Chains A and B, each alone.
Chain A
Amino acid sequence: MSSTVLSPPRHYLNDGYGVKSWLLTRDHKRIALLYLAGVTFFFFVGGAMAVLIRLELATPPGDLVSDETYNKLFTMHGVMMVFFFLIPAIPAVIGNFLVPIMIGAKDLALPKINLLSWYIYMVGGLFTLYALIAGGVDTGWTFYAPFSTASSTTNVIPTALGIFITGFSSILTGLNFIVTIHRMRAPGMTWFRMPLFLWSIYATSLINVLGTPVIAITILLVAAERLFHFGFFNPALGGDPVLFQHLFWFYSHPAVYIMVLPAMGVISELVAAGCRKPVFGYTFVAFASLAIAVVGFLVWGHHMFVAGESVYAALIFSILSFIVAVPSAVKVFNWTATMYQGAVSWETPMLYAYGFIGLFTIGGLTGLFLAAIGIDVHVTDTYFVIAHFHYIMVGGTIMGYLGGLHFWWPKMTGRLYNEGMAKVSAVIIFVGFNLTFFPQFILGYLGMPRRYHAYPPEFQVLNVLSSAGASILGIGYLIPMIYLMWSLRYGRLAGSNPWGAVGLEWTTTSPPPTENFETTPVVTWEAYDYGSTVEGHVA
């Protein structure tokens, strides 16, 4: 039988059974699956809150839940999604699985630290979940002072502590990836032969290591002011509320790139494999990632154009924000150009790549509206901003994450999912997403402020459209849960290279053995070398 040939007797999934073999594993692939369970859980917790938010907003008065509950819902939606889904999702699940395999290594440089990262992540997440169950928190995920330090009577400190704890997981994972990429590359795997996904993960890891400590310090300052009345941010205690915003956005704007850079890396892989072609302008795409990571650290003030920063500070942050848009545009043009004269696939991963490019383009271009200070003054703190960052985070990060999950699922599990259902759900997600968030651009320009429990009746039609879209989007997210789980038992065996793609991960078996490769590979070819070595790689 061919299946016995394709599926080796021993691989990382059957190398040890039982709870202990998972909870004490040091295998980066198993840890990736542990993260997969974690981020999926927190995604559906955050998603459930989004459902309630959209239900409440279907009618103008605040009638479904109380204002207090509504404020807790959007706060916990943001906290869960940002800190426990979007930031870890691609690096910790897909990155963990792929970084060692893509460079031809047996594991990450620090496997025990990798497992520790997962435990820290789960402790932080469960701590935050406790804060939610014990009454919730109502500050918004931005924790603006002095509201968070002096006014809110909810569980600010437990929530913030959960985020604080999880930050260490980001730092350790980032450090692990950096060390691994520097030290563990197989013979012949030079920096410029690495898949672009690794460049993205590398750039992301730099931000994680450099930025996360700042949010950790900020959280400690909030806790100190709340508990001991040290005057950092509250003017009544001699502090400065704008200082909080500087510290918060110094991390939280780069955090947007922590979320979207890995997705960009995934898209580079999907486009190359989907077109069976090298990514157009490899070095430009690689350096664009680093440029985004570096310049992304210098644009935080664009969140504060109306917050009381000086006119000249605003001008500098505005021009830098325009500059950081350029490397993103370069990437979009390069992905599009890669399709030219390709052998372009219409399989599910490529559908997600199309979706990503389209939605990220709209998200990026609407970023220009917000970088233009004259318009930002009108649309900041409105639904325009909500729509913009959901296009980047949901349209970008989640499309990239789901595309990557579909692309590497056969490698991770050894099984193929139902392609027809996968295509249908990809289309449902795309349509549902646009119906949910496009009307919010219009709402924002009309002036509907964000974080409003009740709103004037003239905004209702657009809100109903948005809520309708959200229900479609929700269904789109549930369908993959079904067919992916189904494929684990009933899916066809994938074989080592179901997409006919190049890259080291497709040269090993599916699922890979615990040590990833039978013998350490020696790399003699460039990335995406479809032209000359295709016969050597296509199974």
Chain B
Amino acid sequence: MKEIGLHGRGGQGIVFSGEILANVYFFEGYRVLFMPSYGAERRGSPSNAYVRIDKQKIYARYAVSVPDAVVVFNMSLLSNIKLKEDGIALLNTTEDIKKSSSSKARIFVVDANSIATKLKLGTPAMPIINTALLGAFCKAMGDFSFDNLKRAIEEKMGSRAGINIQAAEMAYEAVREL
């Protein structure tokens, strides 16, 4: 079983991206459980969602504590995020991050904000970065096909799918591993 955490702030589309991701893995033939984390949310407060995937039925009905992979929408939350030692992290950032040599984790970075802004997704103050991040995540994880991501975006977004798929494609190309 694999556990994936999506971390950001309210309004960034965390829950929506989690739903798409759950569908992507479902199309890949996995069993999935998508669990948004609820509390006293509002715009700007931390928002988390988790996806569990497995080839067999998933029985764990409690929160994910240490995921195998995380997507970090907003770097200000980094200190609160847990990740397995050898996990995969995708960070939305323009910062020049250096990875510690002792770290067994695989770190990927992409500037999803500028991709979204370039495509006029959302506003410059609140760009819609979730689909871009999913595109980058596809490259980083390597366990689901871009075609299935496309399908999930199309099924969930209808007329808005086109431009979001573009964002995913751009991020897929732009993402790099540290």
A and B form one complex:
no
